[in-house]
């Protein structure tokens, strides 16, 4: 267990001792979310919060005998312009010490999850993430040594996610590239938990299926521009440039500099870049038809049944179409409400156990459940292309498609 997590665990224990005897309201269950509400990710988290509120409103603000309250917490700061470890830890401690809080929706970022997971685990407080996708958060043997056990100081799982993890998105992205005839790629990442993790998975799969990886570099997300890097990449003549990162870690600037350098290649980015801020930063014209983005699950316009009903209601209430993050926020809140109802008691461990037992959820994303690690059983990846200043659906690829790809001889 690293020093940061040891400290978080000790602090959580102290808080439980100090605040554990505070009186709770027996008729209230409180749900909090911890998301970056300031900076480049605000568009994404606005849609998540809207989805959460819609799920609670549809339930009439009531689940079983309990009145549902919702608290929207910010894990970012104005100074940083993105999430910070201090803000995420503070939100986790606040949730833990509030006896009425029974679940936390979030975080958005996998790095933030590493901060709050051990804190909330100490209180068996349910975490449902709509977006954190790093494999080490849940999957034994796929992340760093000691993961995911290091995030479970009490030895029990309390973290689940409604979004597919990166061991789906990274490899399937490579399979998609091969099907497009890509033979040489240059891989970049932002050096962060999510970005590096998904870029590594993409690169590993490329090598497995015979795509040449010309290079793999980590960018400095604090840099103002990447022109010299792009000059070097151009000389290697890739068919595709892959960036593992987010809007917050300069994805838009990187894309702008890539196409300004007249690199004759397509750009492929993961779901962390699927925000209008990415297009605005790079410039819609330079991205048009040359930039593709992957996202776990179906896009809102392809949803049916409850998903289509959610999309219609979202459009009526907000005057615009939802993005994929809105659907995941809605689904995460629905899981929390289902777990509270199934548990039937205001007890954190009982509610967390009820969530982990969900194997037959019928929601906006279709029929799915959680596996033994707390991961969704959904296995679909959407590929969209930037066209005329927006993300336009291109195709889907599934785990069965991946199985059909034969490794290089």
Q: Phi/psi of residue 363, each to 5°?
A: -130, -160
Residue 9 has pLDDT above 60, yes or no: no
pLDDT of residue 1: 44
Residue 400 has pLDDT above 80, yes or no: no
184-189 and 101-105 strand pairing: unpaired
CA distance 84 to 74: 10
Long-range contacts of 354-361 (CB under 8 A, 24+ apart): 355/103, 355/126, 355/128, 355/160, 356/157, 356/160, 361/334, 361/335
Q: Phi/psi of residue 330, each to 5°?
A: -65, -45
Residue 27 has pLDDT above 90, yes or no: yes
pLDDT of residue 401: 66
Tokens of 264: 């004759």
Residue 409 has pLDDT above 50, yes or no: no
pLDDT of residue 10: 53
pLDDT of residue 407: 58
In this predicted model, what pLDDT tens digit does every residue of 307-345 receive, in sequence order? 999 999 999 999 999 998 999 999 999 999 999 999 999
Dihedral sign for Cα atoms in the order 238, 244, 246, 249: negative
pLDDT of residue 309: 97
CA distance 193 to 281: 23
In this predicted model, what pLDDT tens digit does every residue of 100-146 receive, in sequence order? 999 999 999 999 999 999 999 999 999 999 999 999 999 999 999 99
pLDDT confidence bin for 399, thresholds 50/70/90: confident
Mean pLDDT of the chain: 92
Dihedral sign for Cα atoms in the order 117, 120, 126, 131: negative
- Domains annotated for the chain, with CATH where assigned, are 3-163+304-378 (3.40.50.2300), 166-296+381-404 (3.40.50.2300)
Burial of 18 (0-12, 13-18, 19+ CB in 10 A): exposed
pLDDT of residue 18: 45
In this predicted model, what pLDDT tens digit does every residue of 236-256 receive, in sequence order? 999 999 999 999 899 999 999
Name which of 73-77, 111-115, 182-186, 294-298 the model is least confident about.
294-298
Give the global pTM.
0.88
Residue 15 has pLDDT above 70, yes or no: no
Place of tokens 């799915």: 368
Tell me what percent of the residues of the chain surpass a pLDDT of 70: 92
278 SS3 class: helix
């Amino acid at each position: 267990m690293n020093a940061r997590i040891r400290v978080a665990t000790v602090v959580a224990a102290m808080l439980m001792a100090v605040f554990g005897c505070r009186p709770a309201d027996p008729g209230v269950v409180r749900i909090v979310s911890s998301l970056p509400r300031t900076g480049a990710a605000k568009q994404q988290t606005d849609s998540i919060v809207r989805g959460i509120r819609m799920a609670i409103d549809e339930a009439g603000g009531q689940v079983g005998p309990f009145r549902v309250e919702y608290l929207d917490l910010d894990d970012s700061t104005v100074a940083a312009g993105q999430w910070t470890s201090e803000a995420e830890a503070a939100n986790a401690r606040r949730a833990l010490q509030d006896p009425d809080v029974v679940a936390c929706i979030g975080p958005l970022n996998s790095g933030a999850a590493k901060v709050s997971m051990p804190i909330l685990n100490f209180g068996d407080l349910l975490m449902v993430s709509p977006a954190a996708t790093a494999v080490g958060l849940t999957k034994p043997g796929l992340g760093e040594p000691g993961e995911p056990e290091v995030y479970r100081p009490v030895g029990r799982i309390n973290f689940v996610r409604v979004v597919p993890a990166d061991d789906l998105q990274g490899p399937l992205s490579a399979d998609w590239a091969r099907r497009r005839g890509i033979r040489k790629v240059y891989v970049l990442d932002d050096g962060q938990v999510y970005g590096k993790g998904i870029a590594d998975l993409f690169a590993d799969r490329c090598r497995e299926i015979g795509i040449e990886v010309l290079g793999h570099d980590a960018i400095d997300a604090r840099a103002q521009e990447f022109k010299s890097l792009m000059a070097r990449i151009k000389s290697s003549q890739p068919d595709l440039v892959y960036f593992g990162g987010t809007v917050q870690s300069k994805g838009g600037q990187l894309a702008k500099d890539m196409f300004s350098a007249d690199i004759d290649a397509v750009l492929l980015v993961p779901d962390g870049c699927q925000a209008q801020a990415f297009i605005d930063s790079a410039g819609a014209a330079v991205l048009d038809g040359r930039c593709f983005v992957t996202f776990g699950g179906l896009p809102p316009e392809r949803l049916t049944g409850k998903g289509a009903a959610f999309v219609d209601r979202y459009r009526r209430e907000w005057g615009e179409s939802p993005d994929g993050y809105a659907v995941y926020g809605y689904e995460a809140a629905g899981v929390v409400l289902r777990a509270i109802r199934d548990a039937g008691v205001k007890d954190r461990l009982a509610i967390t156990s009820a969530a982990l037992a969900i194997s037959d959820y019928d929601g906006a994303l279709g029929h799915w459940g959680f596996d033994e690690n707390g991961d969704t059983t959904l296995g679909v990846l959407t590929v969209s292309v930037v066209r005329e200043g927006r993300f336009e659906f291109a195709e889907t690829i599934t785990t069965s498609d991946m199985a059909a790809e034969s490794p290089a001889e």
